Structure formats: structure tokens, C-alpha cells
Amino acid sequence: MTVSGKTPLRMTGVSKQEWGGTNPDKPNQWAIAETGLGKTKTTDGEPKWDKSTLPLGSDRASTLIFLEAEFKAALDALDGVAVRESGVASRNGSPLPESISAKVYHVMADQVVMGPQREAGLSYVDSLYWGKGDNVFFAEDSNAPGGYNIAGIYNLETRKTVTIAGAIGDDNVKFNNVANVPAGSIHRRSDQELTGWFDASASLTCDVDASTGTCSPQEMYDTQTSKHMILNNQMKGYGEGCMDYGFYYTAQMMYIAIPEFDWATTTLAAPTPEGSRRRKLELAEKKKFEKQPRRRKLFEECTEDLEGAWTDDDEFQECQLH
């Protein structure tokens, strides 16, 4: 349960999910960042997956999944339907579907090498933005495989990834063109992470109406091209970065001009390692788990690692744990 007493909804059965994004071209499609595949546990509290079979050999192995829901079909079926006594209704009393069919229709082809000195795979996705043309922007958190975290673009149609930016990790052996740092942002080893993709294209290019001081919704959509992107380089740890001995997290904003890619022919796409094959996750124990009881208290699953109660009084008494 959450601190407000709500029961969380997990759409794919993976415990660690941090970001989502909606397809601007097809609003009934959305993506979820499976931030930590290895963070999922069985109802007995044991790790579900064998860590060695996860990408990069880490429980922070990550990927992106893409889902589609039949909203229109569910809403069309409501025409002329009165709300039953036990039915679902909106605040104004209009009937709502009791269920909506949905499916996973695509999984990221993540078994590619996204930078030097690292193995194939993606780690701890902590940002997700779905741009036009089925181009999905993602960024990694603090695991820093190969000594750095990366941010990139994934194209669904071609299943290709291009790395766009990087941020140094605390175990980095050298600075390179990927494991970089913003000027003045480091004075000791500490993971820096990339997060907060934001499309500034419309803000920079939309022709504002002088009389209203705004753009029309259609103009906003037309100019939201994902060619002018903002990404946050987040410095982590007490006393890091520009606000020395200040906030636990400090940050610098990066503006990134995104070039036009010919995804069919680009030579910038992350390569697939030789001899690779589609991975097959294995359960942590080399046997099938017994069928789990149908009823389990979600409270026990969601709070098994918590100690004591989290109240408004002590919420910010210590540095954020991540």
C-alpha cells in the first residue's frame, strides 16, 4: 500500500517501474519503463529471476515495454447502457467500462551494446518520453555499467537504438566522450544519472498569437517534434556539484538538438554483439514455483522492506535513499 493507503496497480507483474509515456500519434498506446527487472520477488519474498540471466548480470537490468488498450471499443459498448447498481460510473453518473482489454504488443530490443566498455543491455531506466514517429527517449539511473549511464532513442519500427548522452559513474576508470560531466559538477566519485526528458520543441518553435499570447492546441501538437530536447544530468550524493554541500541531489539542464535519423540506414545504431541470441530469463530457483495462493495481502508485498511508519513528520528527516 502507498503512504496514503491506496493499493498500487502493477500492470506487468514487475515490481520496479518508475516511468511511463503515451504515444502522441496513437493515444491508446503507452510505454512503461521496467526499471529493475531483478527487483521482482515471489510472494515468499525471494528474488524471482536468476540474476546471472538478466542483462548486464544485474538486478537493475531494465527494458521498455509497449502496451495497447481498446479504449474505443470499451466506450462504444456503453452506448445506451444505464449504470447498474454495482456498476462503475464517473463523477457525473455516466457509465464507465468495468474493464478494458489491453495487451503488450512490443518489447524493446535491448540486447545491443549502447556504449564503450559495457556489455549488451540496458540498466535502471529512470526517464521515458515517447516522441512522434515512434521514437522513444530513455535515460539510465545510477547503476552506471561500464562506468557511466547513458540516454538514448529507441525506434520501434526498426528496433534500433542510438545513444545520445552520458553521465559518469562512481567506478569510472577514465573520462571519455560518453562518461562526461557538466563543468564544475564533480569533486569526488559519485554516480551521476540522466533523467527528465522534456520536449521543448513547441516552446521554441510555435508561432505565438500576439493577441492571445498562446498557440492553438493543433499548433502545439504540430510543433512538438522532439527535435529540441531537454535532459537533466543529476549529481547524486551529499555535497555534489554546483550547490556544494547543499541538496542531496543537484542538477544541470542539458539542451540537446536531435538530428534527423534515417533509421533504416543509420550507422549510429547500437550494435548487436556477435553470437548473441534473444535472452531467456530463468527463475531464481531451477524449478517451477508452486502455484501461488490466489489471495495475498498486497500490504505485505509492498511494505516488506519498510521499517516503522512513514509519516509527514519524519518524511524528509534523512537523505533520500534510492
Q: In this predicted model, what pLDDT tens digit does every residue of 161-189 receive, in sequence order?
A: 999 988 877 776 555 555 555 555 555 56
Give the CA distances from residue 40 to residues 63, 74, 197, 213, 299, in Å, rounded to whole numbers and listed in that order: 14, 31, 26, 48, 15
**In sequence order, what E strands does 108-238 have?**
122-123, 125-131, 135-140, 148-155, 160-168, 192-199, 228-236
Q: In this predicted model, what pLDDT tens digit does every residue of 90-139 receive, in sequence order?
A: 788 777 887 888 899 999 999 999 988 888 999 889 899 999 999 999 99
Residue 2 C-alpha cell reads as 502507498
Mean pLDDT of 290-305: 40
Mean pLDDT of 1-10: 58
- The rounded Cα 227 to chain-centroid distance in angstroms is 20
Q: Which residue has the cell 521482482?
A: 40
The pLDDT of residue 16: 75
Q: Is 235 helix (H, G, I), strand (E, B) or coil?
A: strand
Kindly report the average pLDDT of the chain as a whole number: 75
Local confidence band at 48 (pLDDT 50, 70, 90 cut-offs): confident
Give the list of residues 6+ apart from residue 214 with CB closer than 8 angstroms, or none. Answer: 208
Q: In this predicted model, what pLDDT tens digit does every residue of 249-266 receive, in sequence order?
A: 667 788 999 999 899 999
The pLDDT of residue 82: 59
Q: Is 213 helix (H, G, I), strand (E, B) or coil?
A: coil
What's the start-to-end Cα distance of the chain, in Å?
Answer: 19
Mean pLDDT of 139-156: 88
Strand 192-199 and strand 160-168: the pairing is unpaired
